Amino acid sequence: LDEEMARDPNVFVLGEDVGHYGGSYKVTKDLYRKYGEMRLLDTPICENSFTGLAIGAAITGLRPVVEGMNMGFLLLAFNQIANNAGMLRYMSGGNFKVPIVIRGPGGVGRQLGAEHSQRLEAYFQAVPGLKIVACSTPYNAKGLLKSAIRDDNPVLFFEHVLLYNVKGEVPEEEYLLPLNKAEVVRSGSDVTLLTYSRMRYHVLKAVDTLVAQEIDPEVIDLISLKPLDMETIAASVRKTHRVVIVEEDVKTGGIGAELTARIMEELFDELDAPVVRLASQDIPTPYNGTLEAATIVQPEDIVAAVERLLYA
């Protein structure tokens, strides 16, 4: 954010407590000292209004970055995101561009309760005109965010509340990453594991166990949830012929549901077994820590699913 604000004076950030407080997870800490209060704009607690303000700013030439203090709050701005951000470029015949990024923390944290444990990626996946990205590492978070800010279309940029403490190598030189590409995290030949966001790390824990059992899984971090990178996915399925999808979203109508349908439509003849979906249970996330953990996919669940797929 700092680099893009320095590079382009049209980039500004708005949201609740993004200025003086530095953001609920300190993503914008002290940036208001450098860029002033009008480029780090503290808003009232009124998501529909400030998201609408940002969309208006975008179509008149600015590049707003909206922070949802918690992505669950953006349900209050669903109309603005769907009916305005997603559609204005189409409805204007291309006369308006809508270069807006809507970013912030989501996912199941640690005892944040149901209303603060929302996973909204599937809510927005059906909205035409949006790009949806889920970062998972420091490296891809930076490269993807810079690309999202420079894109002329609305981008929903999902961060996970439990990944802010993840550390990793980030090049000092500038780099950009494509918004429409998956990442092959590990090459393998026995089964394709498709995942994104925090579940990348649960999958990698499961992989350690699977490799010890002489199973060779391929791991793909989807990153782009809309559009899906079917080229990378197809190349993997043609190699392994088996697929397990691991997501933190709920199973009904989730990203995995759409992905399964696409695989069945486009790659059915490549499959040696039905696609397996592992997802959160279809209930509001409990506050109780033990119950909360029981509602989402754990590494041992992934191991068991792969074993059933290969040996059943």
Report the catalytic residues: 47, 116
Which tokens sit at 303? 């191991």
Cross-strand bridge partners of residue 42: 15
Query: What is the layout of strands, in order, in the sheet containing 243-250?
Result: 183-186, 217-221, 191-195, 243-250, 276-280
Alpha carbon 176 to chain centroid, angstroms:
17
**Distance from C-alpha of 247 to C-alpha of 140, rounded to nearest angstrom:** 18
Strand-strand pairing, 183-186 and 131-134: unpaired
CB atoms within 10 A of CB 276: 19
227 cis-preceded (ω within 30 degrees of 0): yes
Residue 63 DSSP SS3: strand
List CB contacts of 167: < 8 A, sequence separation 6 or more. 138
User: What are 234's two structure tokens?
Assistant: 């197809």
Cα 107–chain centre separation:
9
Q: Are strands 101-106 and 131-134 parallel, antiparallel or unpaired?
A: unpaired
3-state secondary structure of 1: coil
Q: What is the DSSP letter of 251?
A: S
Residues 193, 204: contact at Cβ < 8 Å?
A: no
Tokens 């997802």 sit at which residue?
A: 279
**Contact status, residue 158 vs residue 135, Cβ threshold 8 Å:** yes
